[in-house]
Amino acid sequence: MGPAWIMAVRHGESESNLAYREAGATPLVYERGDDEVTLTELGRTQAAALGRLLAALPRDEAPELVWCSPYLRALDTWKLAHETWGVDPLPVTVDERLRDQEAGEFARYNLAAIAERFPGELARREAEGAYAYRPPRGESLADVVARLRDFRRDLDGRADGRRVLIVAHDSVVLGLRHVIAGGPDAELAAVLDFAPVLNASVSVWRTGGTGFELVRFNDVAHLTS
């Protein structure tokens, strides 16, 4: 039996999110590894707001199992949310398949830096489309979806009718939207219409009929309430 519902959350604002936003159109080479980046003070505040959202849920609506990306910013988001929530520890599975989309050789560059140093690659990205483009030694969004399909099969076997919280990344939440909907890969590009997935946003699917029904997507109302 699969999960009763799935709540997918993007991590709170990270140090690299802030650095890239402040750089804007200025080329940036960010030196820290993608898996090492933790939360900004705003990101910690967002994680605490997620915890308050979970605490406000009725007992029979709260998550029972947690799956988390192995990257530090996702782990820290769950840790702070759980501390704010104040409940006993939940079963947590750290799953490599929930890591962020791998940028390969361009992991430390923003788009302006890629355009400056590797203009041919940026042209290839524009020609192939953002969902299909695979940077050198990196992943396309289609690659992320492939590992999420494998994750979803395992989740169906392990959730056993319980409510599942997933704490991960924007590419994972977008990919899950496509995987849970069950659409063909030919329609994958359409999922980019729902980007960007915002920091600490919440997306929820509930079982209904023969599959899952999307209840809300990319919701950040809890961050301003």
- Profile the chain (225 residues) by mean pLDDT over runs of 10 residues: 92 97 96 92 98 96 97 98 96 98 94 93 90 95 96 93 97 97 88 96 87 94 91
Q: Residue 213 has which token pair? A: 């029904």
Q: What is the pLDDT of residue 113?
A: 95
Phi, psi of 147 (to 5 degrees): -75, -30
Q: What is the pLDDT of residue 209?
A: 63
Q: What is the pLDDT of residue 152?
A: 95
Distance (Å, whole) CA 32 – CA 16: 8
Distance (Å, whole) CA 10 – CA 72: 13
Q: Residue 146 has which token pair? A: 């492939």
Question: Letter for the amino acid at 74?
Answer: A
Contact between 176 and 9 under an 8 Å Cβ cutoff? The reply is no
Q: What is the pLDDT of residue 207?
A: 87
Q: What is the pLDDT of residue 32?
A: 87
Q: What is the pLDDT of residue 33?
A: 86
3 state DSSP class of 164: strand
